[in-house]
Amino acid sequence: MIGIALVLAFTWIPLLAVAAETQPAIDFSAQEQAYIAQAGTIRMCVDPDWMPFERINEAGQHEGIAADLIQLVAQRVGLKIELHPVKSWQESLDASKAGVCQIMSFLNQTPERDQWLIFTAPIFFDPNVIIAREEHNYIGDLKGLSNETVALPRGTMVEERIRREYPDVMVILTDSEPESVKLVSERKAGMTIRSLIVAAYSIKKEGLFNLKIAGHVPEFTNKLRVGVVKNETVLRGILDKGVQTLTPQDREAISNRHVAIQVQQGFDYRLVWKILAVSAVILLVSLFWISKLRALNRKLERLSTTDRLTGLYNRLKLDEVLESEGMRASRSGHSFSVILIDIDHFKRVNDQHGHQTGDLVLVDLAQLLRTGMRSTDFVGRWGGEEFLVICPHTDSAGACKLAETLRQSIQDHLFPVAEQQSASFGVASSCPGDSASEIVSRADKALYAAKTAGRNCVKVG
């Protein structure tokens, strides 16, 4: 006798076969080749409960986005990775510090972790957002919070930075991501600060639709890397070369989430009609929630790449473009440039006319930048009154010419209420071997030189 049950289940599709259709050529040094030939098995520590990024399932297997990405990198560099079983994130950290594991799969680089780990380039980017209940006000800046409670899993980068940078915020420690979100839902904590992907996953899986995205924290963007114990410098170099082969398509394919419908067979005809009736109800309810989830996902996608006030790209998107242009420049030998822009005396605008007028000035300036860009350029809000322009295939002279055009258009424009404004510009171009942070650092120094020189001018770093 056969019964049929429709079961809705959240599933992560392994797409490694698709991502690995073409094997990129990697140029290993003789020392790295010898290491790979003699390495044997590399032991890895992971977070056992951090879905959808990773977990150790009931069968003792590593699964999730991190698992697929790490295995893809391992396959491309020719290493075999072995999971070290743990029951908590703290246990994983302790095992890594004790040298039990040679690598940690998916974590942010922090000063505390720098004490025993060295890191690859980022293997995955994901913004952190503020999760609160529906009735909570929008949170534009953590600096303005006091006597607010935030639930955070212990031992994370966010916990470390909140304690160091925002001592007025009261931290409630939890053992997992779902527990932090649940405390907010149950009004036992005012908010939590979590990964955008993890937040959306938790809200969807647990049906916690009394929660919302109450703000985002661009300076806390997750740049997730592979951590390697300090004495394994050759291993770090090998893994880093593997990470550099990952394309946006690889990452997107592996992180793609979906709802699967499974058909199960049994042996009792008497249950068929009851099961079909219940399944029909479940299906109707599910379709309702799926429509809500699609709307939520569209909102989350917009939030993850755009600045709420100006509509320009946000810090997360700019970081991604910088990393991408850095790798492109390294492969092709063509340079690219960045322009860092800061509105002169912007504090005076806020003090004399109020923050609402200041916001109008920012929106107006964003429109000037948007219309003044070439079609190949990227422009976004870097933070506060600072904006960043990324100019692919552009040398220093070309970037300076564009910066001067923008400077003149800002100077000639009449802004709302605040009237005339000016801005200072710092320009820097990529050099062989540069990291994205080094290029931006030179632009920042050039911007400081422009401020020192009297503002409303362009300087090159």
Structural domain 315-460, CATH architecture? 2-Layer Sandwich (3.30)
Domain ranges of the chain: 4-122+223-257, 128-220, 268-305, 315-460
* Statement: residue 274 has pLDDT above 80: no
Instruction: Answer whether 4-122+223-257 and 128-220 agree in fold.
Output: yes
Enumerate the β-bridge partners of residue 82. 43
Tokens in use for 163? Answer: 């304690």
Give residue for tokens 């923008």: 406
Indicate the angle between helix axes 233-244 and 30-38, nearest 10 degrees.
100
Mean pLDDT of the chain: 84
DSSP conformational letter for 137:
P
Closest CA to 342 of 225, 235, 443, 227: 443
Q: Name the least confident of 117-126, 135-144, 391-400.
A: 135-144
Only one residue has tokens 């890191």, namely: 119
Give the pLDDT band of residue 292 (cuts 50, 70, 90): low
Of 153-167, 268-282, 424-438, least confident by mean pLDDT is 268-282
Write the CATH number of the domain with boundaries 4-122+223-257.
Answer: 3.40.190.10
Q: pLDDT tens-digit profile of 29-88? A: 999 999 999 999 999 999 998 888 889 999 999 999 999 999 999 999 999 999 999 999
Q: pLDDT tier at 265 (50, 70, 90 boundaries)?
A: very low
pLDDT at residue number 399: 95
d(Cα 215, Cα 237) in Å, to the nearest integer?
37
**At the fourth CATH level, which superfamily is domain 128-220?**
Periplasmic binding protein-like II (3.40.190.10)
Please provide the distance, in angstroms rounded to a whole number, between the alpha carbons at the two ends of the chain.
77
The angle formed by the CA atoms of residues 324, 122 and 74, to the nearest 5 degrees, is 105
Residue type, 254: I
Closest CA to 427 of 291, 308, 336, 304: 336
pLDDT recorded at residue 123:
93
Structure tokens at 359: 């916001």
Q: Which of 137-151, 178-192, 248-262 has the highest mean pLDDT?
A: 178-192
**Does the structure show a pLDDT above 60 at 235?**
yes
